[in-house]
C-alpha cells in the first residue's frame, strides 16, 4: 500500500505512486509507467476563491465541515473499507469510509455481467448451480449480514461471508481477489437470517433460520419435497427453526457440510445471531420473535401475523453453548439429516446446550460489547435496549436457576437474574454498534435517530454507566448502523454509518423507487455529527461491516494462469498454448479452444466449429499489468467472461445456432480495443 504518512489533520493517508499503464496501445502488453506525485495540502490559509465557493453555493459551516471531513482526493486512500450487503440485489457492495465512494460490487447470488459471473463462465455457473442445491437454478438472493473472518475474535481481513435470507444459503468471498468462492445451501432450512457470524477463529460460520420450515419427524426438511399441511397445531408440532455451524476451511474457502452441525430449534422466528468471545467465548446468541407461534390466516378467521405475533410481552433470547454442542456431535449424539449432523431439540435440552432468557418485546438485533461481556438486544416494540451479562447468564445456568420451561422443554432463565441493564433509548430500537470508548449506538427505526449510550464495566468505567449520552436524527427509517470493527474486541470508533431505508427528501426524485440513504456520522467527539448522505440506488442493504484498510491485502495481479477458484494454476493453462481442436467426448462433439488475450489481440481470432458442438474456451489474460482487464463476449449467445491480468477462465456454451458470430473484448483496453475481436463460425449440420 505504499508509504503511510500522517497528514495535517491526523488522518492516515498513503503516499502511493501511480503507475499508469502505457497508452501506446500498439505496444502490446507494455507496462511502461510514469509517476504522478500528489499535491500536498497548502499550509497557508485558504485563498479567497474558497470563500467565494462557499458563498456562491450558500454552504453552511456544517456543510463545509462535512465536505472537508469526507473528501478523499484521487490517489489518496480511505481509512476504512465497508462491506455492505446489497439486499435483494443479491450482491455485496464495497465502499470507502469516509469518502463513501462505491468501489466495487461483488457478484454473489445473482449473475453480474461485468464480472462475467453467471454468463457461461464455468466456475461461476457451477457455483450458482451448486448453491441452488437442485431446487432450481437460483439467480436471486436477499443478502443481509456480512461478516469478516476472525483471528482471536478480531477481524483479519481474509474472508468475507454473506447469507441469502430468501433461500437459506451462505457464501464465502476471498478478500484476496474479492470473488465468491463458495455457496452452500443450508440443510433443513428454508430461509435464514441471523449471521453470518464467525467463531473467534473462524472454525465455524454460523447462521440461524428465520421462518421455520416444515420437518418430517426424524427426517428434517427437504426443499421441494417436504409437505406438512399448514395448521396451527401442525406448525407447533412439525415446523422447526435451526442454528447451523458451518465448518469453514480458510485454506480453500469452502464450507464443509460433513464437519458442520446444526441444532434443531422450536418454531419461533429466530432472528439476529452472534457468536461471543472473551467471557462469552463458546456461546452463541440469537433473539427471536413470534414465540406465539402464530401462522397468520386473515382469510381463515385468524388475526394477521403481525398482530398475533406481537402478543407476548417477552420473547426468548436463545443462548447456545456451541462448544458443548461440538462435543456432543463428536460423541456421536447427533443425527445425520440431509447431509448435516443435527442435534435434535430433545438432545439439545438434555445435554444443556440450549437455554432461553426472556427479552421484551418482539425484539430485533443481537450484538456484543467489545469486552464480550454484554449482549445487547433492541426492543423494537419496546423503547429500551436490554443488556444481558454473560457472567450472570453463566452463573444462573450453573446454579440451575430457571423460571420454568417453554412448551418444548427448553429451560428459561429468570430475566432479573441475567439482565445487566435496560436503557430507554427511543422508539423502535433495532441494532447496536460500539466504539472504542465504552459507548453503544442504537438505531431507532420509528423515532428516526441514532442514540448513544454508555455501557458498563469493563467496557465503560466512568461514573454514568448504562445512560443515554447523545442522540442525532437520521433521514429516515434506519435499519442497521455500522461502526468500524464493531462486534469485535477492538472497535475503532470515529465513524458511524446509518443504513437508512428511506431517503424521502434527501435526493432528487428519480422515480417512485427512491434510493436508500447511507448517512455518514462523525462519532469521534462527544456529540455525533452528520457528515454525508450517500444514495444507494441498488438493492436494499441491511448490515455492513467496516474494517481498517490496512487489514486488507488484496492481490494486484494474478500469477500467470491462475484459476481464481483455487489460486493455483488452472488445470487447462498451458503456457504459450493457443489454438483449437474439434474432438469427440463420449457421444458429443466438443470444440476446445485455448485462447490468450492481450492488448489488443484475441488469439485465435477465428474459431470454426459445427452446429451443436459444445464450445469450451480456456482463456488466459497474459497481461502482467495491474488493471489490464479484458472481457470476452459472443454476440447473440449470452456469453460473457471477465479475465483479469494473469487469470485463466473457462467458458462453455452449446453452439446451437448456425452462423458467423462476432466475439470481442468488452473492456475498452487500448486504442485498438475495437480491433480486439474475432469470429465464431458455426457451420450448419
Considering the complex, what minimum distance in angstroms separates the CB of residue 116 from ligand CUA? 13
Contact flag: residue 144 with ligand CUK (CB under 6 A): yes
- Decide: 305 and 311 in contact? Cβ < 8 Å: no
Backbone angles phi, psi at 238, to 5 degrees: -115, -15
- Decide: 267 and 241 in contact? Cβ < 8 Å: yes
**CB nearer to ligand CUA: pick between 478 and 633:** 633
Contact flag: residue 364 with ligand CUK (CB under 6 A): yes
Which among 455, 429, 547 is positioned nearest to 494, based on CA atoms? Answer: 547
> 3-class SS at 454?
strand
Q: Which position has the grid cell 453555493? A: 57
Which residue in 123, 341, 542, 599 binds ligand CUK (CB under 6 A)? Answer: 542
**CB nearer to ligand CUK: pick between 11 and 501:** 501
- How many residues touch ligand CUA (CB under 6 A)? 7
Question: Which whole-number Å values give the CA distances from 316 to 125, 238, 287, 347, in the listed order?
Answer: 41, 20, 6, 19
Backbone angles phi, psi at 632, to 5 degrees: -135, 125
Report the C-alpha gap between 328 and 334 in whole angstroms. Answer: 7
> If DSSP states are collapsed to H, E and C, what string results for 350-418?
HCCCEEEEEECCCCEEEEECCCCCEEEEECCCCCEEEEEEHHHHHHHHHCCCEEEECCCCCEEECHHHH
Report the C-alpha gap between 486 and 80 in whole angstroms. Answer: 13
- Decide: 272 and 243 in contact? Cβ < 8 Å: no
Contact flag: residue 645 with ligand CUK (CB under 6 A): no
Residue 673 partner contact from ligand CUK, ligand CUA, none using kind-dependent CB cut-offs of 5 to 8 Å: ligand CUA
Considering the complex, what minimum distance in angstroms separates the CB of residue 201 from ligand CUA? 42
Considering the complex, what minimum distance in angstroms separates the CB of residue 365 from ligand CUK? 7
Residue 471 partner contact from ligand CUA, ligand CUK, none using kind-dependent CB cut-offs of 5 to 8 Å: none
Contact flag: residue 545 with ligand CUK (CB under 6 A): no
Report the C-alpha gap between 188 and 579 in whole angstroms. Answer: 47
What is the largest distance, in Å, between two alpha-carbon atoms of the chain? 85
Residues 65-124 touching ligand CUK, rule: CB under 6 A, are none
Contact flag: residue 185 with ligand CUK (CB under 6 A): no
Residues 250-309 touching ligand CUK, rule: CB under 6 A, are 272
**CB nearer to ligand CUK: pick between 106 and 269:** 269
Residues 640-679 touching ligand CUA, rule: CB under 6 A, are 665, 667-669, 673, 676
Beta bridge partners of 84: 93, 544
* Binding track over 472-491 against ligand CUA, x by CB under 6 A: --------------------
Query: In 10 A of CB 504, how many CB atoms?
Result: 12
**CB nearer to ligand CUK: pick between 92 and 651:** 92
Which residue in 479, 491, 645, 678 binds ligand CUK (CB under 6 A)? Answer: 479
Report the C-alpha gap between 413 and 419 in whole angstroms. Answer: 10
Residues 420-439 touching ligand CUK, rule: CB under 6 A, are 430-431
| Torsion, CA 288, CA 274, CA 85, CA 113, rounded to 10 | -110
Considering the complex, what minimum distance in angstroms separates the CB of residue 168 from ligand CUK? 13
Considering the complex, what minimum distance in angstroms separates the CB of residue 542 from ligand CUK? 4
Q: Which position has the grid cell 465503560? A: 460
Considering the complex, what minimum distance in angstroms separates the CB of residue 663 from ligand CUA? 12
**CB nearer to ligand CUA: pick between 342 and 676:** 676
Q: How many residues does the chain have?
A: 685
List, as one string, the DSSP characters of 61-85: HHHHHHHHHH---TTPPPSEEEEEE
Radius of gyration of the chain (CA): 27
Residue 123 partner contact from ligand CUK, ligand CUA, none using kind-dependent CB cut-offs of 5 to 8 Å: none
Which residue in 630, 649, 661, 678 binds ligand CUA (CB under 6 A)? Answer: 630
Residue 523 partner contact from ligand CUK, ligand CUA, none using kind-dependent CB cut-offs of 5 to 8 Å: none
β-pair type (677-683, 606-610): parallel
Considering the complex, what minimum distance in angstroms separates the CB of residue 676 from ligand CUA? 4
β-pair type (254-265, 495-500): unpaired
Considering the complex, what minimum distance in angstroms separates the CB of residue 274 from ligand CUK? 11
646-656: b or e for each residue (b if 16 or more CB lie within 10 Å)? bbbbbbbbebe
**CB nearer to ligand CUK: pick between 425 and 430:** 430
**CB nearer to ligand CUA: pick between 160 and 665:** 665
- How many residues touch ligand CUK (CB under 6 A)? 11
Considering the complex, what minimum distance in angstroms separates the CB of residue 491 from ligand CUA? 43
Considering the complex, what minimum distance in angstroms separates the CB of residue 335 from ligand CUA? 54
Beta bridge partners of 432: 442
The contacts of residue 104 (CB under 8 Å, 6+ apart) are: 93, 94, 178
Considering the complex, what minimum distance in angstroms separates the CB of residue 154 from ligand CUK? 22
Contact flag: residue 480 with ligand CUK (CB under 6 A): yes
β-pair type (374-378, 364-368): antiparallel
Which residue in 150, 193, 373, 630 binds ligand CUK (CB under 6 A)? Answer: 193
**CB nearer to ligand CUK: pick between 193 and 419:** 193
Report the C-alpha gap between 126 and 141 in whole angstroms. Answer: 16
Contact flag: residue 275 with ligand CUA (CB under 6 A): no
Residue 185 partner contact from ligand CUK, ligand CUA, none using kind-dependent CB cut-offs of 5 to 8 Å: none
* DSSP letter (8 states) at residue 329: H
**CB nearer to ligand CUK: pick between 429 and 678:** 429
**CB nearer to ligand CUK: pick between 370 and 479:** 479
Residue 498 partner contact from ligand CUA, ligand CUK, none using kind-dependent CB cut-offs of 5 to 8 Å: none
Helices assigned H by DSSP within 499-573: none
- Decide: 298 and 304 in contact? Cβ < 8 Å: yes
Which positions touch ligand CUA (CB under 6 A)?
630, 665, 667-669, 673, 676
Which positions touch ligand CUK (CB under 6 A)?
144-145, 193, 272, 364, 430-431, 479-480, 542-543
Amino acid at each position: 500500500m505504499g508509504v503511510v504518512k500522517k497528514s495535517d489533520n491526523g488522518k492516515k493517508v498513503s503516499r502511493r505512486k501511480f503507475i499508469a499503464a502505457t497508452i501506446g496501445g500498439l505496444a502490446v502488453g507494455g507496462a511502461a509507467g510514469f509517476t504522478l506525485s500528489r499535491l500536498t495540502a497548502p499550509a497557508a490559509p485558504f485563498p479567497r476563491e474558497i470563500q467565494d465557493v462557499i458563498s456562491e453555493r450558500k454552504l453552511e459551516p456544517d456543510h463545509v465541515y462535512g465536505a472537508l471531513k469526507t473528501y478523499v482526493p484521487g490517489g489518496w486512500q480511505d481509512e476504512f473499507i465497508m462491506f455492505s450487503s446489497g439486499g435483494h440485489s443479491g450482491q455485496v457492495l464495497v465502499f470507502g469510509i469516509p469518502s463513501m465512494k462505491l468501489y466495487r460490487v461483488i457478484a454473489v447470488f445473482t449473475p453480474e455481467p461485468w464480472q462475467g459471473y453467471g454468463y457461461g463462465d464455468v466456475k461461476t455457473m457451477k457455483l450458482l448451480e451448486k448453491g441452488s442445491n437442485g431446487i432450481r437454478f437460483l439467480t436471486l438472493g436477499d443478502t443481509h449480514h456480512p461478516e469478516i473472518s476472525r483471528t482471536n475474535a478480531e477481524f483479519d481481513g481474509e474472508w468475507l461471508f454473506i447469507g441469502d435470507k430468501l433461500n437459506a444459503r451462505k457464501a464465502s468471498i476471498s478478500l484476496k481477489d474479492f470473488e465468491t468462492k463458495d455457496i452452500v445451501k443450508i440443510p433443513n432450512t428454508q430461509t435464514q437470517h441471523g449471521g453470518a457470524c464467525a467463531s473467534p477463529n473462524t472454525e465455524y460460520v454460523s447462521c440461524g433460520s428465520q421462518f421455520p420450515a416444515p420437518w418430517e419427524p426424524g427426517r428434517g426438511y427437504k426443499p421441494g419435497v417436504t409437505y406438512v399441511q399448514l395448521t396451527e397445531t401442525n406448525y407447533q408440532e412439525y415446523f422447526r427453526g435451526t442454528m447451523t455451524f458451518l465448518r469453514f476451511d480458510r485454506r480453500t474457502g469452502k464450507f464443509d457440510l460433513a464437519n458442520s452441525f446444526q441444532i434443531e430449534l422450536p418454531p419461533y422466528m429466530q432472528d439476529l445471531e452472534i457468536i461471543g468471545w472473551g467471557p462469552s467465548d463458546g456461546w452463541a446468541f440469537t433473539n427471536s420473535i413470534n414465540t406465539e407461534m402464530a401462522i397468520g390466516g386473515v382469510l381463515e378467521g385468524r388475526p394477521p401475523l403481525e398482530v398475533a405475533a406481537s402478543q407476548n410481552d417477552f420473547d426468548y433470547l436463545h443462548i447456545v453453548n456451541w462448544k458443548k454442542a461440538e462435543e456432543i456431535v463428536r460423541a456421536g449424539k447427533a443425527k445425520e439429516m440431509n447431509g448435516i449432523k443435527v442435534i435434535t431439540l430433545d438432545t439439545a435440552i438434555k445435554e444443556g446446550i440450549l437455554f432461553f432468557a426472556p427479552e421484551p418485546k418482539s425484539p430485533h438485533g443481537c450484538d456484543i460489547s467489545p469486552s464480550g461481556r454484554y449482549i445487547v438486544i433492541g426492543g423494537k416494540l419496546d423503547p429500551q435496549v436490554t443488556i444481558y451479562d454473560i457472567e450472570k447468564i453463566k452463573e444462573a445456568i450453573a446454579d440451575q436457576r430457571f423460571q420454568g420451561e417453554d412448551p418444548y422443554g427448553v429451560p428459561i432463565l429468570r430475566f432479573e437474574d441475567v439482565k445487566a441493564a435496560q436503557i430507554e433509548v427511543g422508539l423502535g430500537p433495532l441494532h447496536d454498534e460500539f466504539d472504542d470508548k465504552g459507548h453503544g449506538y442504537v438505531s431507532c427505526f420509528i423515532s428516526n435517530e441514532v442514540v448513544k449510550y454508555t455501557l458498563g464495566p469493563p467496557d465503560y468505567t466512568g461514573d454514568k454507566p448504562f445512560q443515554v449520552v447523545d442522540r442525532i436524527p437520521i433521514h429516515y427509517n434506519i435499519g442497521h448502523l455500522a461502526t468500524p470493527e464493531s462486534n469485535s474486541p477492538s472497535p475503532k470508533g470515529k465513524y458511524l454509518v446509518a443504513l437508512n431505508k428511506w431517503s424521502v427528501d434527501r435526493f432528487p426524485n428519480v422515480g417512485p423507487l427512491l434510493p436508500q440513504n447511507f448517512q455518514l456520522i462523525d462519532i469521534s467527539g462527544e456529540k455525533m455529527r452528520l457528515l454525508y448522505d450517500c444514495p444507494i440506488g441498488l438493492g436494499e442493504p441491511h448490515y455492513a461491516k467496516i474494517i481498517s484498510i490496512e487489514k486488507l491485502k488484496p492481490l494486484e495481479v494474478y500469477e500467470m494462469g491462475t484459476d481464481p477458484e483455487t489460486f493455483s494454476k488452472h488445470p487447462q493453462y498451458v503456457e504459450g498454448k493457443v489454438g483449437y481442436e474439434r474432438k469427440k467426448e463420449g457421444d458429443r462433439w466438443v470444440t476446445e479452444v485455448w485462447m490468450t488475450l492481450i492488448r489488443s489481440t484475441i488469439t485465435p481470432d477465428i474459431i470454426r466449429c459445427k452446429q451443436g458442438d459444445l464450445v469450451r474456451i480456456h482463456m488466459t489474460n497474459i497481461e502482467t499489468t495491474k488493471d489490464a482487464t479484458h472481457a470476452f463476449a459472443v454476440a447473440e449467445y449470452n456469453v460473457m467472461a471477465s479475465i483479469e491480468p494473469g487469470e485463466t477462465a473457462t467458458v462453455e456454451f452449446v453452439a446451437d445456432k448456425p452462423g458467423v458470430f462476432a466475439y470481442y473484448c468488452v473492456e475498452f483496453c487500448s486504442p485498438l480495443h475495437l480491433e480486439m475481436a474475432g469470429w465464431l463460425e458455426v457451420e450448419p449440420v
